[in-house]
């Protein structure tokens, strides 16, 4: 199951960093699995991924619930919401190419924006649900 997860994260990373609109909003290819020290805001990070067996009696598959986080220091929610919407448009229902698996669907399920007083940042969260199956 982890191969499908790695393939999906790689395809999502390529879709996000390959879009000039999103990289323009972020001020570069600032999409991270682990944020490097001294990274400037805004940026987008991969969050929690939950993997579930989606196999049937005749087919193998996985369901993945994955999150993306947007971090902004600008006052107000505007920058965070604009970045989130661009990421949603790039991923929701898009036919991303995987390696040894195929993407059955990738659906945006939930978004939230809030101000984190402890970190003094606006934090956006996007949750997606993906279903994958082996190609062979």
CATH (domain of 42): 3.30.2000.30
Q: Which pLDDT score, from 0 to 100, does residue 54 have?
A: 82
3-state SS class at 24 = helix
Interval 4-24 mean pLDDT = 97
When pLDDT is cut at 50, 70 and 90, the band that residue 59 belongs to is: confident
Number of domains observed in the structure of the chain: 1
5-19, 26-40, 51-65, 76-90: which range is least confident on average? 51-65
The mean pLDDT of the chain is 95
3-state SS class at 8 = helix
- Do 84 and 22 contact (CB within 8 A), yes or no? no
By residue range, what is the domain housing residue 8? 2-134
- Cα separation, 23 vs 61, in Å, equals 32
* Residue range 72-106, pLDDT digits in tens: 999 999 999 999 999 999 999 999 999 999 999 99
What is the percent of the chain where pLDDT is above 70? 99
- Sorted by sequence, the CB contacts under 8 Å of residue 97 that are 6+ apart come out as 11, 103
User: Which class for 20: exposed (0-12), middle (13-18), buried (19 or more C-beta within 10 A)?
Assistant: exposed
When pLDDT is cut at 50, 70 and 90, the band that residue 2 belongs to is: low
């Amino acid at each position: 199951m982890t191969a499908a997860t790695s393939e999906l994260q790689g395809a999502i990373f390529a879709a996000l960093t390959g879009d000039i609109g999103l990289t323009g909003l972020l001020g570069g290819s600032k999409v991270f699995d682990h944020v490097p020290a001294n990274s400037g805001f805004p940026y987008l990070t991969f969050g929690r991924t939950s993997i579930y067996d989606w196999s049937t009696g005749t087919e193998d598959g996985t369901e993945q619930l994955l999150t993306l986080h947007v971090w902004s220091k600008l006052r107000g929610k505007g920058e965070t919401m604009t970045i989130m919407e661009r990421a949603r448009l790039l991923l929701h229902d898009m036919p991303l190419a995987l390696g040894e698996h195929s993407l059955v669907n990738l659906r945006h399920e939930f978004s939230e924006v809030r101000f984190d007083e402890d970190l003094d940042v606006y934090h956006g969260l996007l949750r997606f649900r993906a279903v994958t199956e082996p190609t062979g």
